[in-house]
Amino acid sequence: MTSEFSMGDFDLSGIICDLITSAKDFDGAAASSRNLIDPFAAALESVLNDYKSENEWLEAEHRRTKQKNLMNHIGDLQQAIIGKLPGWTSYSTGTDMPDVVGKRGKQLMLCEVKNKHNTMNSRSSLATYDSLVDFLGRPEFKGYTAGVVAVIAPLRSNAYFKPFAPSGCQERKDIVFMSGRVFYTIATDIEKRVPYKDILPSEDFSRWKSWKAIDLMIEEFWSEIEKQTKYQIPRWIKDLTKQALGA
């Protein structure tokens, strides 16, 4: 691959180490005990899963709590990984900055990063839109294009990106929505193109040299997990990944 993105520039060891450590240190049982039990959910879960005892239900509840904690970290993981791309910086929550900012010559972009396309409801979509409008109004982001990146999202071959405009909001060509594959293609594009300014939604991104950038990222992600944990990522996960990211 001959885009700007190469594995030599992309060290995920620290990110993966921090994530694994945080997940391992999380006490699911203690977290569950601090929450009030929902007896309605417990009754239905016991019926549907044929739990025979309180301990069976508690074990399932602890696993659910641990998974919820892990998913909370996944969003931070996605933007931290993007922050490793050449020209891109990730910002922590509470810094009054976008999730990620890219400054690569003429390519000026700021993005809010979501793990999946269906995690936003109407209220959070509106809040995200308002936040992006505010960022674009700041002097330091004059001339930038804003994006909402859903890392896991379906691809549409006739419209690889589109304006991001929740119901009641004005469509703007400087605020766009794109999947993870399209974002990585743009963010590592050697020509540093920008949505609507240099490219249209109908552009065939699959012909770009950077189309496989997200594949290189996920391969490095798997490799680092295997290196640090000695766990072999199974084939079925890799097959599902092709569906999730769009081939």
Backbone angles phi and psi of 48, in degrees to 5: -70, -30
Q: Which helix or strand (DSSP H or E) is residue 152 part of?
A: strand 145-152
Whether 245 is covered by a domain: the verdict is no
> Which residues form the domain of 173?
80-215
In a shared domain, residues 117 and 154: yes
Coil vs helix vs strand at 108: strand
Flag whether the pTM goes above 0.85.
yes
Q: How far apart are CA 185 and CA 150, in angstroms?
A: 14
The pLDDT-based confidence of 10 (bands split at 50, 70, 90) is confident
What is the pLDDT confidence band of residue 119, given thresholds at 50, 70 and 90?
confident
Based on the fold, state whether residues 33 and 115 are members of the same structural domain: no
**Per-residue buried b or exposed e for 211-226, using 16+ beta carbons within 10 Å of the residue's own CB:** bbbbbbbbebbbebbe
Domain membership of residue 240 (yes or no) is no
Distance CA 45, CA 42 (A): 5
pLDDT in tens, 192-244: 999 999 999 999 999 999 999 999 999 999 999 999 999 999 999 988 888 88
Place of tokens 């890219």: 102
113 and 180 fall within a common domain: yes
Residue 226 lies in a domain: no
Mean pLDDT of 143-159: 90
- 234 assigned to some structural domain: no
Q: What is the pLDDT of residues 41-62, one digit of tens each?
A: 889 989 999 998 989 988 888 8
Do 185 and 208 touch, CB atoms closer than 8 A? Answer: yes
Same-domain pairing of 85 and 160: yes
Based on the domain organization, do 72 and 89 belong to the same domain? no
Residues 6+ apart with CB under 8 A from 170: none
